[in-house]
Structure 1
Amino acid sequence: MRVFVAIEISNNNIINAIKKFQKGVNIDAKPVELKNLHFTLQFLGEISEEITQKIIQSLKTIEFSSFDVNLKEIGVFPKPKFPRVIWIGTDEVGGNMLIRLSKKVEKMLEPLGFFSDKPFKPHITVFRIKKKIGDISGEMENYKMIDFGIQKVSNIKLKKSVLTTNGPIYSDLMEVTAKK
């Protein structure tokens, strides 16, 4: 099964602000479904049921305190002249807390053979772009300073992803709740 460790976006005000943003952007891109909005702390890929159980046991031992993340500003991977993903970033303090949490997850899963191939960059993907659409710098400039609101991070989830022609279907395999 295909799995990843994530923090879901659950604040309805943020979800509504993202929905408004997705409707307002005038580009040929596929918006991420609102119910699928999340930070990916670590993507683990295709793994067996046996390894999944070991991951669950490891993740159960992670301890962290809840914290707030301000979702703001828009970015593009790899760059606005050749966009593939449009994302929402975070404030510096909340972003650093997410980075620390992702490092805890990675450290916990290293003994099972999981390593991140690149440094974690706190972001939520809000659009995926399959075809070449050209430079979107001008369109993104309109949204550069947008503030979507504050998400409380109080749990992380191990999620299963099933890819379909209509997009991915996510389901929860387990949840770790913050200690306070």
Structure 2
Amino acid sequence: MFRLFVGIPFPVSVQASLEGLCHGVPGVRWVQPHSFHMTLRFIGEVDEDVAEDLDAALAGIHAPRFMMALSGVGCFDKRNKVKALWAGADKSSPLMHLFGKVESAVVRAGMPPEPRKFKPHVTLARSRNLSLEQAAPFLESRSQYLSEAFEVSRFTLFRSHLSREGAFYEPLAEYPLT
């Protein structure tokens, strides 16, 4: 079985910029800089033959390269408990176009449609017991964050390996944008 997702990798300079945000909140699990990415579509556990179908469908995507910058920070919370801290991105037309193409390809490969709305973000940290009140200083002090603009020239099919030390993301295939 393969645990898969489709994402946008970031240049080293953007990884370093994001790493600069990752401090000052005790008790969270910070994402390692080499693991920063933007998930376009989480797929989950699939058999090898489904992974091959996904690869073929994703390889058929034709979309233009585009510029993107990350801006601001936020959190996903449930019942006043923060589950993740993130840096965001605008829902630009080219990003939403690529997201739509990826979603269509994944569905054509036999996966169910994604029921949740797409929220472009990069996970910075995960948490179990952080309250919104405890996260507030982090969110306020980094609210004006803005990365350098960078070109999105490809997207990637990743395999996620989970361990006690955290997740490791293995690129299985890269798909160029034109």
Q: TM-score, normalised by structure 1?
A: 0.90
How far apart, in 2, do the equivalents of 1:56 and 1:92 lie?
25
Number of residue pairs matched by the alignment? 175
**2:99 corresponds to 1:102:** yes
In the TM superposition, residue 79 of structure 1 has moved relative to its aligned partner by: 6.6
Task: Give the drift of 1:42.
Answer: 0.5
Structure 1 runs of 4+ aligned residues shifted over 4 Å read none
Q: Is the 8 A contact 1:159 1:170 kept in 2?
A: yes
What is the RMSD computed on CA atoms of the aligned residues? 1.7
Q: Is the 8 A contact 1:5 1:156 kept in 2?
A: yes
* Structure 1 position 9, deviation (Å): 1.2
Which whole-Å deviations, capped at 9, do the CAs of 1:71-120 have from their partners, x for residues lacking one? 11001102794211011111453xx4222211111111212232112111
Aligned equivalent of 1:126: 124
One-letter amino acid of the counterpart of residue 111, structure 1? R
Going from structure 1 to structure 2, the CA distance change for 1:31 and 1:89 (only over 3 Å counts) comes to same
Residue 174 (str. 1) matches residue 164 (str. 2):
no
**1:160, distance to aligned residue in structure 2 (A):** 0.5
Q: 1:80 to 1:89 in 2, by over 3 A?
A: farther
Secondary structure in structure 2 of the residue aligned to 1:131: strand
Q: In the TM superposition, what is the alpha-carbon distance from 1:134 to its structure 2 partner?
A: 4.9
Residue 99 of structure 1 contacts residue 122 of structure 1 at CA under 8 Å; is this kept in 2? Answer: no
Equivalent residue for 2:160?
Answer: 161
Distance (Å, rounded) in 1 between the aligned partners of 2:91 and 2:58: 25
State the identity as a percent: 25
Contiguous gaps of at least 5 residues in structure 2: none
